[in-house]
Structure 1
Amino acid sequence: MDKSSRPEIMENLIGAINKIQDVFNALKVPNSIELPQIVMLGSQSTGKSSVLESIVHRPFLPRGSGIVTRCPLVLQLVECKMDNRKYRKEENGTTEIQEWGEFLHLKDEIFSDFDLIRKEIEDQTDRLAGNNKGICHEPINLKIYSPNVVTLTLVDLPGITKVAVGDQPEDIEDQIKKLVMLYIENPLSIILSVSTANTDIANSESLKYAKRVDPEGDRTLAILTKIDLMDKGTDAMEMLSGQVIPVKLGIIGIINRSQHDINENKTIDEQLMDEKAFFEKNYKEIAHRNGIPFLSKRLSELLMNHISDSLPNLKLEVANKLSDYQKLHDACGEEVKDRDKIIVGIVTKMTKFFSEIIDGKCTKKITDVKALCGGPKFRRIFDELFTVALIKIEPELSIADIVSYISNNGGPRPAVFAPENLFNNLVKEQIERLREPALKCVENSYDEMGKVILKLVKEQHVLARFNVLEKKIYTVLKNFLNDRLPAAKEATNKLINTELSSINTNHPDFSIEAALKEDTYKSVKIEKDAEIIEHLVKHYFPIVKKTVQDQIPKIIMHEMIKYMKDNIESELLGKLYKENQLEMLQESEENAYRRENAKAMIKALKVAKETIEEIELGY
């Protein structure tokens, strides 16, 4: 069965959207999701208030000069039918349908006196927007139950104005413009543009606004007021027939009560009869599609069909936002109840993650594909930077210097053998040159560990809640690293000093015979001795260099990297438990606000999700 042939289901659509709208408005976040809605806008004195009162069949809106509507008014109309018991009131043998209003900000309070509804709108406007005639974006939600209305919801916006009057703010035009655009930019909004027929329609401010966001007029419906006040000899036939205004949802003419009518206590029912008579007399061919009754029915049908068409996308948006806010809430974390549990949990997670980074098993976003981090970076420091630096260090020897040294260490007669200490001294000079790149490797590893610590702390999103704890953990880890740097340097220097302390000519990889066989010496004796010593140094030095190349990375791993990996948990727990836990786990006001806001949004979105699912089941 076509949905449009099931009016009770279609009316439930509006009720369902109203329910969702109420939930979000109660959170004071009316534009959290884009809902199908009708937005009414027009310049001051175009008769917007009179149109609304005619639709409701009751005078209930504040009136006066200047901008009277200073907050969005979300008006939800609910038709009270005789066959629904909850709307019926039986008294003295007669049955009548009740009629009343309810405000979202005054729960459980019923307004059966519409003068009191007007008064509450005025008071709530002052509470929200102040007394200086300024504008407020926070809406007033009013629900009216009546047998004289069709089920319908629309948003009435402040009248468009260009000049500040009286005590209005100087930027009143910009304030209203921002508010209007906020509502009509929503692609799910049907724009109800109110203009007067007795002025040049080309200058209609409401139509100009509508055209900015809906240039083809696909979601704009125009209302023409004051048709009865047009100059003699003119009529609105071309405009009402759609030949002037480019809107696709229709143009509907309305006859409102004039101020004289209001002063003379002319009722809305009387005005509706006069309106009907006016159109039948002056616009007989199109009378059936003009006037308040037709407008009400048309708006209700438009809204119901619009909601029906929008449901799939609305359902998807609600699901996506629910997922987003759930992630936000998870990131914010729950309120702190067990401080020990939180600290131990953070430390345990960081310890595990630290090991993953060092071992090269990290699969989280901390691994930047454009830059090495942790284990892979240490491998590069050891295997590339340090090794390359060592390869470049070749013995710096001069035959002339060696000859001079031999000559200066001899007596009046030439020495039979070259002095042994010359070989030792020359080797030690070359070994000392290995100290700088070895210590540089320690420093590079220290710098990389500092980066690992920083990223490790920043990756723990839960720490964003606790600024003091985050800083404390970073300080503990950085101090821990700083304490290990001297140990790594000391071990490095000790290795170099150990090699300097004893030149081991009995090393299995060092052979004097092999060194001497590599060349044929043709020099006179002293130069031959110098060349022999040079060759011996060149054979011994690579042995020490190989040892240093092998041992320095092991020293760094033992004294710094692995030591921290094995002791990070005990170090953190030991230091953190000496601190004031209450102070450390004091979360930021921003995080607390984000968590509470996310919690409220999740609750509202779940209601929206359930409501949409109920609608789908109803089909």
Structure 2
Amino acid sequence: MTKNVPVGDQPENIEAQVQEMILSFISNPNSLILAVSPANSDLATSDALKLAREVDPDGRRTLLVVSKLDLMDAGTDALEVLLGRVIPVRLGIIGVVNRSQHDINTQKSLEDSIKDEHVFLQRHYPSLVSRAGSRYLAKTLSKLLMHHIRDCLPELKTRVTVLIAQYQARLNSYGQPVEDHSATLLQIVTKFATDYCNTIEGTARHIQTSELCGGARICYIFHETFGRTLQSIDPLGGLTDLDILTAIRNATGPRPALFVPEVSFELLVKRQIKRLEEPSMRCVELVHEELQRIIQHCSSYSTQELLRFPKLHDSIVEVVTGLLRKRLPITNEMVHNLISIELAYINTKHPDFTDAAQVSASVNSQQVFLLFFLLLFILTLTSWILGFQADTLDGGKHWKTEKTVENKAQVPGFGSPSKTQAVNLLDTAVPISRKLSAKEQRDCEIIQRLINSYFLIVRKSIQDSVPKTVMHFLVNFVKEHLQSELVGQLYKQGLLQELLIESQETAQQRTEVAQMLEALKKANNIISEIRETHLW
């Protein structure tokens, strides 16, 4: 290789372009490097050897050709170089004598040139005449090439076979040009519906390992996301003692309550049950989102034919999305009804609610017992007072009447208007910071225990019924009606031609893959025809 100087309209970086082109070939570890350097120049600065050493530092793939032996200065020769004592290369060093420009102008034949080359070598390099010259170079290159082919042939045949299989698979994925539009559309729609249902059931061919998908994710939503959310809801969350006492007082009206009113319990437990509706609706939303994600999963991994027909792909996505959108409000309404059903009737006779009811009954019995003794005490005291008054003089009765009138005069509203002060009892603040009385504390504990017990019953029921509702009204319905919905909306004679228009990119890729596959098959045939006897 020599320095390249731009000539004429050649670019300024012509040398860099030539170097880059040469390196692109000799960098291949399967290539043989033929480095040619003239004998009448310094081999230590040879550009060809410099490039060869960059990619083959040990010289395992390099063959050095020393040209223009006849043009060396008088009294010098290239014997040391040709013997390999100056530049070591593994494939050898061969000297040749090139045809001169005069030989080309006078149309000197190749045979005469080879004879003159042999005479020159016999005269100046007699010990190397059998290992030099153009004929020896040709034989050596042919021998090296055959050896290299023999060594690389098994691996090459294996690579070609693998590539044939890969390109054949790619060609098959592109499919053949559509001839029967009706059959093709039904086939694609059926396959998509099958893949969609299989993804939900967990029997799809393409199962992801990086994240949960399809039915597995729906199961996770039911039992992990939704289940844990319900379990994290405190049955008494957001319910204070003041709320309970206010509910009890509002349920008793103007009369003080002797027992804990059942109305207050129902009012408060309904308030707590209502808190289960939001996570239940969120469960429906999450499952709906996962059913949407399955569409893209099937489009990307399962139904490669959809990539050929972008309009059909978009139409299938639109139909499935519409079916899911249509079922979403129905499912939401059913889940809402589950909560409404629980709120409609508080079943205090529920088998699991017996213990809590018994606790309430026992506490109320204690209250009745205490009340009985309190009434007995009051009756006894009243009889004693009445007996004492029967023995009292009339003057004493008069004094008692006057005192009574005097006391009434001191009561606001009964005496002089000038001393009367109006009091608005509705403006009186409800005491919330004081310590609860024993009865108030006992009433709160009764309500809390009843709410906690009944709330757990309802939560358990909702945790079981919401997934069943979602499966029946959304997931299973979509599975059962998906194919019929797709066929009903897409299998129309007016749409077949339009939906099965193949993308330009797919058609071009099919052509390129088919051409590459044909070239690989030809290469495989050539390799198969080569026998070791042909090489040696």
| TM-score, normalised by the number of residues in structure 1 | 0.69
Number of residue pairs matched? 459
The match for 1:613 is: 528
The match for 1:588 is: 503
The match for 2:164 is: 322
Distance in 1, matches of 2:305 and 2:19, equals 41
Q: Deviations over 1:87-112 (max 9, x none)?
A: xxxxxxxxxxxxxxxxxxxxxxxxxx
Q: Deviations over 1:53-95 (max 9, x none)?
A: xxxxxxxxxxxxxxxxxxxxxxxxxxxxxxxxxxxxxxxxxxx
**Greater CA radius of gyration, 1 or 2?**
2
Q: Does 1:371 align with 2:211?
A: yes
The match for 1:499 is: 342
The match for 1:253 is: 95
Q: Does 1:603 align with 2:515?
A: no
Matching of residues 436-455 of structure 1 within 5 Å: 436-455=278-297
Greater share of strand: 1
2:186–2:491 Cα contact (<8 Å) kept: no
Calculate percent identity across the aligned residue pairs. Answer: 43
1:322–1:605 Cα contact (<8 Å) kept: yes
Structure 1 gaps of 5+ residues are 1-41, 44-160
Matching of residues 130-529 of structure 1 within 5 Å: 161-364=3-206, 366-368=207-209, 370-393=210-233, 394-396=235-237, 397-459=239-301, 460-511=303-354, 513-516=357-360, 528-529=442-443
Residue 530 of structure 1, CA deviation: 4.6
Residue 486 of structure 1, CA deviation: 1.6
> SS state of the match for residue 85, structure 2?
coil
Greater share of helix: 2
Distance in 2, matches of 1:519 and 1:418, equals 10
Distance in 1, matches of 2:495 and 2:44, equals 70
Distance in 1, matches of 2:438 and 2:85, equals 119
The match for 1:81 is: none
Residue 529 of structure 1, CA deviation: 4.6
Q: 1:571 to 1:419 in 2, by over 3 A?
A: same
Residue 224 of structure 1, CA deviation: 1.6
Equivalent AA in structure 2 for residue 392 of structure 1:
S
Q: 1:611 to 1:470 in 2, by over 3 A?
A: same
Equivalent AA in structure 2 for residue 256 of structure 1:
N
Q: Deviations over 1:329-377 (max 9, x none)?
A: 223333333333332222222222222221223352x322x42222121
| TM-score, normalised by the number of residues in structure 2 | 0.79
Distance in 1, matches of 2:253 and 2:93, equals 124
Q: 1:588 to 1:169 in 2, by over 3 A?
A: farther
2:251–2:264 Cα contact (<8 Å) kept: no
Distance in 1, matches of 2:30 and 2:256, equals 107
The more displaced of 190-199 and 334-343 is 334-343
The match for 1:568 is: 482
Distance in 1, matches of 2:155 and 2:8, equals 45
Residue 617 of structure 1, CA deviation: 8.3
1:227–1:255 Cα contact (<8 Å) kept: yes
Structure 2 gaps of 5+ residues are 368-436
1:279–1:287 Cα contact (<8 Å) kept: yes
Q: 1:286 to 1:518 in 2, by over 3 A?
A: farther
The match for 1:555 is: 469
Q: 1:235 to 1:395 in 2, by over 3 A?
A: same
Distance in 1, matches of 2:143 and 2:532, equals 21
Residue 232 of structure 1, CA deviation: 1.4
Residue 278 of structure 1, CA deviation: 1.1
Equivalent AA in structure 2 for residue 277 of structure 1:
V
> SS state of the match for residue 509, structure 1?
helix
> SS state of the match for residue 433, structure 1?
helix
Q: RCO (CA 8 Å, sep 6+): is it higher in 1 or 2?
A: 2
Equivalent AA in structure 1 for residue 468 of structure 2:
K
Distance in 1, matches of 2:130 and 2:445, equals 120
Distance in 1, matches of 2:320 and 2:460, equals 33
The more displaced of 402-411 and 483-492 is 402-411
2:331–2:473 Cα contact (<8 Å) kept: yes
The match for 2:432 is: none
1:515–1:539 Cα contact (<8 Å) kept: no
Alpha-carbon RMSD: 2.6
Residue 569 of structure 1, CA deviation: 1.2
> SS state of the match for residue 66, structure 2?
strand
